[in-house]
Amino acid sequence: MRSSIVGTGRALPARVVTNDELAGLMDTSDEWIRTRTGIQQRRWIEPGDTGVRLGMRAALEALDSAGLAAGDLDAILYATSTPDRFTPGNGVYLQRELGIRSTIPAIDIRMQCAGFVYALSIADAYLRTEAFSRILVVGQEIQSTRMDLSTAGRHTAVIFADGAGAVVIGPTEEPGRGIRGFDLHTEGQYAEKLWVEGPGSLVPPSEWAREQEEGRYWLRMDGREVFRHAVVRMPESVRAALDRAGERPDDISLLIAHQANLRISEAVQKELGLRDDQTYNNIQRYGNTTAATIPIALDECSRAGRLRPGDLVVLTAFGSGFVWGSCVLRW
Ligand SMILES: CC(C)(COP(=O)(O)OP(=O)(O)OC[C@H]1O[C@@H](n2cnc3c(N)ncnc32)[C@H](O)[C@@H]1OP(=O)(O)O)[C@@H](O)C(=O)NCCC(=O)NCCS
């Protein structure tokens, strides 16, 4: 028995934020952002909206496309590095919002940009060990509410954005179909290359105001280091995952790489020797939505007819930690 993706969904906030709008807030330009990152616009939530609400919209679409109701689920895996609350995680709120009365586990996964791939790997293990058989996997992120929108924050504020994507994992007995394998890694020595220092339990609440004043709440990034590692680790990981599945880069029908930066995705494509029609990018429209980029792209590809039964699909991600990983599956 293998696990396969039996439904997909996505939710993006209605508010479109253009590069020109950002240029009105900080010293940057449409030209700089397009050339360095490929991003033309992104989505931010309206004040008062929540990440869980976005996650719920994506989840309902995924359930609908799977022909299932929320009550049919056995487990929820919720990947986010920007939960609505410190405690508890977004998973339990989603369980509540979906009106699920049974006490199925709703688990938060904190693996940043690789969160969705990690959540998928856990869902796959649960399914194959027959612990659970209908699992909702959500990748959702709200970056816009914790951005430094001054010129000091322009390295990250022009890149990161809000969004949610979801899939439902179910069993398949069709030979060759479904999830074929993973390649997963972390390298903690680079933890501070892309991080949010506070607030955390290292700092008592009495000092939170000072932390905020000193800018420790902002997402901070050494962009060049992240770039340098991402363009090596993603292709390396794709090859390792393909090797384990007994496939080669030539066999890939569609590679969906985490939408960190268009230049990174293009470098990964080149390194793997893939044609344009073997890859998919939507960072131009959505920016980097961290754990949400891959399920959003999967849903777009699925609904646009870019995924046909039997296609070899590879997902790969790299992010803060550093964490990275890939998944190989037959659609
Ligand atoms: C962030 C990134 C686009 C910056 O591009 P870069 O070519 O490395 O640019 P640098 O950081 O060297 O900055 C070049 C110049 O542009 C400036 N700059 C940085 N951000 C800017 C912005 N938004 N607008 C205008 N200028 C900007 C810098 O201050 C620097 O100016 P200086 O030369 O006077 O010091 C790039 O490093 C990157 O994409 N990194 C990976 C980021 C990523 O994917 N993160 C998510 C991983 S999950």
Model confidence pLDDT, tens digit, residues 167-211: 999 999 898 899 999 999 999 999 999 999 988 899 888 988 888
Q: How many angstroms does the Cα of residue 117 sit away from the middle of ligand 1?
A: 26
Mean pLDDT, range 116-139, rounded to an integer: 98
Lowest mean pLDDT among 192-201, 225-234, 314-323: 192-201
pLDDT digits (tens, 9 = 90+) for 71-100: 999 999 999 999 999 999 999 999 999 999
Q: So what's the pLDDT on residue 1? A: 85
Whose structure tokens read 């890859």? 279
Query: What is the DSSP pairing of strand 323-330 with strand 312-319?
Result: antiparallel
- Check pLDDT > 90 for residue 279: yes
State which amino acid sits at residue 11: A
- How far apart (Å, rounded) are the C-alpha atoms in residues 183 and 201? 31
Q: So what's the pLDDT on residue 213? A: 85
Q: Which of 36, 196, 288 to mutate to test the pocket of ligand 1 (most atoms within 8 A of CB)?
A: 36
Please give the structure tokens belonging to residue 148.
């430094």
DSSP 305: T
- How far apart (Å, rounded) are the C-alpha atoms in residues 113 and 322? 9
Mean pLDDT of the chain: 97
- How far apart (Å, rounded) are the C-alpha atoms in residues 160 and 19? 12
Per-residue pLDDT band at 245 (split at 50, 70, 90)? very high
Give the number of other Cβ atoms within 10 Å of residue 315's Cβ: 27
Told to judge if 155 belongs to the known catalytic residues of this protein, a careful annotator would answer no
Give the predicted TM-score (pTM) of the model.
0.97
Minimum CA distance residue for ligand 1 atom 38: 223
- Check pLDDT > 90 for residue 215: no
DSSP 331: -
Q: How many angstroms does the Cα of residue 300 sit away from the middle of ligand 1?
A: 28
Told to judge if 113 belongs to the known catalytic residues of this protein, a careful annotator would answer yes
State which amino acid sits at residue 103: T
Please give the structure tokens belonging to residue 297.
């792209």
Residues in contact with ligand 1 (CB, 6 Å cut-off):
28, 32, 36-37, 113, 154-155, 158-159, 221, 223-224, 226-227, 260-261, 264, 288, 319
Nearest alpha carbon to residue 162 among 260, 82, 220: 82
- How far apart (Å, rounded) are the C-alpha atoms in residues 49 and 140? 13
DSSP 151: G
Whose structure tokens read 């689920």? 73
Nearest alpha carbon to residue 3 among 104, 128, 116, 119: 128
